[in-house]
Amino acid sequence: MPSDPKTPPASPEIAEVLSQNEEAAEQIKATASELDVVHAVLSTQIPPEHLEGDLQAAVERTDELEQQLSETAEALEKSNDLLREIDARHNGGSAKTGK
């Protein structure tokens, strides 16, 4: 069971890594959202008869990239949860004890 993400890690090193990872995850999510909007605009505003060759491949690729970014952000969040668990276990079962 993951520890509470609101509980600060006891280890300053883990706190720093988590902070950097959380910021990276948020940036990845924001980029994925922006890319999703780009894909929606391209796929709805370009007439189907013009969607061929490289242009069609580019539109399709925006969707694939958005999915990859979303999956990457999710994997990073799972990693962060695991770091919190490890920190809690190594610090007496609770990350609340050492600020």
Summarised one tens digit per residue, pLDDT across range 82-97 is 988 988 888 775 544 4
Dihedral in degrees, nearest 10, Cα atoms 3, 7, 12, 13: 40
Structure tokens at 1: 């069971």
Span 11-24, pLDDT tens digits: 888 889 999 999 99
Domain assignment present for 42:
yes
Domain assignment present for 36:
yes
Domain housing 22: 12-90
Structure tokens at 7: 């509980």
What confidence category does residue 6 fall into, taking pLDDT thresholds of 50, 70 and 90?
Answer: low
Residue ranges of alpha helices (H) inside the chain are 12-45, 53-90
Structure tokens at 80: 């962060």
Domain assignment present for 4:
no
Domain assignment present for 66:
yes
Domain assignment present for 32:
yes
Give the number of domains in the chain. Answer: 1
Domain assignment present for 44:
yes
